[in-house]
Amino acid sequence: MAFRSSGTLPKDAHKGINAWVLNIALPAVSLNYIPYIQWSTELLFPVAAPLIVWLGGWTFISLYALKQPMDKATKGALKLTSGLSNTSFLGFPMVMAYFGTEALSIAVITDQACFILLSTAGIIVAINSAQKEKLSAAAILKRLFRFPPFIAFIAALTLPRFVDISPLNPLFEKLVATVGPLALFSIGLQLQFSGWRSELKHLSAGLFYKLLLAPALVLLTAVVFKLKGEIPQVSIFEIAMPTLVTSSLIADEYGLNPKLANLMVGIGIILSFLTTGFWWLVMQYVIPA
């Protein structure tokens, strides 16, 4: 944030950093951890958690819109930004800080599930809210299968069956180490807080769901199914992250109240440093390892 305000770096410096994180560092996370996961039914929870949050967010915003009338674009922006978590750029560094690097093997599963939701349900919401173009299954699939972290995720699931990629692990580990500092630096360069007063009502509702109600829903699910330990803890922690940065970019692309979407990201990130700590403490008592 200091670099951004000082004007030391070019205006779009974050784009180059994002390119590294998205095209190199995040794929390395999948290739470094996914081949060594011992798959079990418990790992269905990291997959289901983002879906629970998305469905809950869609329902919450739909009910909220009945009491607080808003245009279709604003409603779409709230659904996008309250239903998708920042599971990689902020989630991975936070998971490493709270649970250790090895926990990324769980976090990457939740991250890929979140990305698939963004590329399918998220795009559908954006198109329907903006009505700029016709919905195309081909366009959605193209977006999905051209995303480097998703390609690496699929490769990490399949390649080890045919080729031993373990000699590349030292390289992958070095690349994974860049995720935390570069992702957070990029976020700092993009944070914006101007105009929050005019959006305070909708912003408060969106952040209430994203930072408090959504993690509570997933935690409740873990309690109902009597899940304990690191797998549900990391999954809930990932879900407790603030709004996915990419969802605000999509909101901007489709004209869905970009100011509100950017505020959901910016203010959500600042508040999340407190709320994620709160949820971590809660989990130690409710679903201990």
pLDDT in tens, 33-75: 889 888 889 999 999 999 999 999 999 999 999 999 899 999 9
Q: Which amino acid is at 81?
A: T
Closest CA to 87 of 121, 56, 116, 110: 110
Any idea what DSSP says for residue 195?
T
CATH number of the domain encompassing residue 138: 1.20.1530
Query: What is the band of 127 on the pLDDT scale with cuts at 50, 70, 90?
Result: confident
Q: Is the pLDDT of residue 144 over 90?
A: no
pLDDT higher than threshold 80 for residue 199: yes
Which amino acid is residue 209, in one-letter code?
Y
Can you say how many angstroms the Cα of residue 104 is from the centroid of all Cα atoms in its chain?
A: 14
Domain count, the chain: 1
Contact 182, 3 (CB under 8 A): no
For residue 177, pLDDT beyond 80: yes
What is the percent of the chain with per-residue pLDDT over 90, rounded to a whole number? 54
The answer on pLDDT for 124 being more than 70 is: yes
- Three-class secondary structure of residue 240 per DSSP: coil
As a whole number, mean pLDDT of residues 82-104 equals: 93
Cα distance between residue 253 and residue 238, in whole Å: 26
Q: Which domain holds residue 69?
A: 2-286
Q: What is the pLDDT of residue 148?
A: 87
Q: How confident is the model at residue 134 (pLDDT cuts 50, 70, 90)?
A: low
For residue 106, name the pLDDT band (cuts at 50, 70, 90). Answer: very high
Confidence of residue 259 (pLDDT cuts 50, 70, 90): confident
pLDDT value of position 162: 93
The pLDDT of 74-101, averaged and rounded, is: 93
- pLDDT of 132: 60
State the Rg of the chain over Cα.
Answer: 18
Classified as helix, coil or strand, 243 is strand
What does the mean pLDDT of the chain come to?
Answer: 90
pLDDT of residue 202: 95
| pLDDT for residue 233 is more than 80 | yes
Q: Rounded to an integer, what distance in angstroms lies between the CA atom of residue 277 and that of residue 281?
A: 6
Residue with tokens 């630096």: 185
The residue with greater pLDDT, 237 or 5, is: 237
Tokens 């440093």 belong to residue: 273
Helices in the chain by DSSP H: which ranges? 2-6, 13-20, 26-33, 44-67, 72-83, 91-99, 104-117, 123-130, 137-145, 148-158, 169-176, 179-190, 200-208, 214-224, 230-239, 245-253, 258-286
In terms of C-beta distances under 8 Å and separation of at least 24 residues, what long-range contacts does 110-113 make, across chains too?
110/46, 110/47, 110/49, 110/50, 110/234, 110/235, 110/238, 110/239, 111/26, 111/87, 111/149, 111/238, 112/30, 112/149, 112/150, 112/153, 113/46, 113/47, 113/48, 113/49, 113/50, 113/51
User: What region, left, alpha or beta, does residue 7 occupy, with left being phi > 0 and alpha being psi -120 to 50 degrees?
Assistant: left
Quote the pTM value.
0.85
Cα 202 to chain centroid, rounded: 20
